[in-house]
Amino acid sequence: NIGKDRPVIRQLDDAAINRIAAGEVVERPASAVKELVENAIDAGAARIAIEIADGGKTLIRVTDDGCGIAPGDLPLALARHATSKIDGTDLLDIHSFGFRGEALPSLGAVGRLTLTSRAPGHDAAMIRVAGGTIEPVKPAALRAGTVAELRDLFYATPARLKFMRSDRAETQAIADVVKRLAMAEPSVGFTLRDMSGGGSRETFRADAEQGELFDALTARLAGVMGRDFTDNALRIDATRDGLRLYGLAALPTYSRGAAVAQFLFVNGRPVRDRMLTGALRGAYADFLSRDRHPVAALFIDCAPSLVDVNVHPAKSEVRFRDPGTARGLIVSALRHALAGAGHRASTTVSG
Ligand code: ADP
Ligand code: MG
């Protein structure tokens, strides 16, 4: 009679595993948008159209003109730990947003996901997965690229559904995600439309920017953060020990009462990192009173081997091999720029 209460060890099935993983990867509609838009960027898209309804809870549709997926690969795109982006031999050499092969299976486990795609030289095809149940690939009509349509997010996990905030709050979070990715990719065009209630309202648009790095970046940042920012910002461009820091940092006179306009990117990836925001704060310490916060959009680029992006599934944290170098670079480059600007300002005043 020991058998009665003895716990039995079972292998979970894929649907259960994907639902559990989804808890980490897909916290709210904005995280689903992030995953789908990152996939579009990874696919080399020049234009990405994002449509949402009801804060993304009922509909998220991302349309891109990227490389597409061949019909035979569609089931793999939905399979767990299947990715076209790395071969697993060098996790320190990652050049794409994705690499875990977790997003699509997770989304398909907690919502209804349809992928329609066409790769050059192939017919268009589609595949559907709902609540983890995958349907066979079917022919479809599409000229090029991919449409990823996610409906009824979290319908399969009602507990998670209860944690959703208002449509307004979720829509705002989605817009933030899209804007951050738009800042990271000036050469890609983005549109965000709200289709709630059967309407179609453009809530954000950033046309593809051409030109040299700083010109394209400045134009994109003006579009996303406002021309006030770019008109009142210093160009930052500095290197140290294999790290390059570039971007725009606002003059101390253009500061904020809260740390709400600080955008940091590592190897093109939007990150939220305490060490980096701490460095930003430190750099402005001599130029701002304690209740004011700097405004900046800063990019650190380095060899993928110098930074580990494999810290968390949502991947907004990074770990530098040498955090001191990143910190020192930010502090010294910004201080130098700010001191020079102060100097120029006082020269102008006295002259
Ligand atoms: P990951 O991005 O980590 O590889 P995903 O689950 O997000 O994992 O996607 C799985 C695979 O599906 C990708 O590696 C890619 O080959 C393919 N894929 C997903 N979205 C797109 C897209 N928009 N265009 C082309 N291929 C895509
Ligand atoms: Mg992905």
- 177-186 residue pLDDT tens: 999 999 999 9
Nearest-angstrom CA–CA distance, 87 and 74? 18
pLDDT digit string (tens) for 93-151? 777 888 788 899 999 999 999 999 999 999 999 999 999 999 999 999 999 999 999 99
Is residue 94, in this structure, part of any structural domain at all? yes
Task: Look up the pTM and report it.
Answer: 0.93
32 and 143, same domain (yes or no): yes
30 and 106, same domain (yes or no): yes
Nearest CA to ligand 1 atom 20: 39
Beta-sheet strands, E only, within 152-261: 189-194, 201-206, 233-240, 243-250
164 and 230, same domain (yes or no): no
Domain total of the chain: 2
Is residue 267, in this structure, part of any structural domain at all? yes
Query: Which residues lie across from 33 on neighbouring strands?
Result: none
226 and 98, same domain (yes or no): no
91 and 196, same domain (yes or no): yes
CA–centroid distance, residue 120 to ligand 1 (Å): 16
Is residue 28, in this structure, part of any structural domain at all? yes
183 and 223, same domain (yes or no): no
Over 60: is that where the pLDDT of 206 sits?
yes
Q: What is the pLDDT of residue 313?
A: 62
Q: Between the CA of residue 82 and those of 18, 22, 61, 175, what are the distances in Å?
A: 13, 15, 22, 29
Token pair, residue 196, equals 């709630």
Q: Which ligand is nearest to the CA of 115?
A: 1
Is residue 175, in this structure, part of any structural domain at all? yes
147 and 274, same domain (yes or no): no
236 and 155, same domain (yes or no): no
Over 50: is that where the pLDDT of 170 sits?
yes
22 and 124, same domain (yes or no): yes
343 and 252, same domain (yes or no): yes
Ligand 1 site: residues with CB under 6 angstroms?
35, 39-40, 43, 64, 66-69, 77, 83-85, 98-104, 146, 148
Q: What is the pLDDT of residue 19?
A: 84
Q: Which atom of ligand 1 is nearest to the CA of 77?
A: 12
Nearest CA to ligand 1 atom 7: 103
Q: Which atom of ligand 1 is nearest to the CA of 62?
A: 23
Residue 342: CATH number of its domain: 3.30.230.10
C-beta of residue 33 within 8 angstroms of C-beta of residue 60: yes
C-beta of residue 306 within 8 angstroms of C-beta of residue 242: yes
Is residue 7, in this structure, part of any structural domain at all? no
109 and 137, same domain (yes or no): yes
Q: Which atom of ligand 1 is nearest to the CA of 67?
A: 25
Q: Domain containing 166: what range?
A: 14-206
22 and 130, same domain (yes or no): yes
pLDDT bin (cut points 50, 70, 90) of residue 350 is very low
Nearest CA to ligand 1 atom 12: 77
Q: What is the pLDDT of residue 11?
A: 92
Q: What is the pLDDT of residue 347?
A: 45
Choose one of 17, 33, 83, 96 to mutate for the ligand 1 pocket test, by most ligand atoms within 8 angstroms of C-beta. Answer: 83
Task: Work out the average pLDDT over 254-271.
Answer: 93
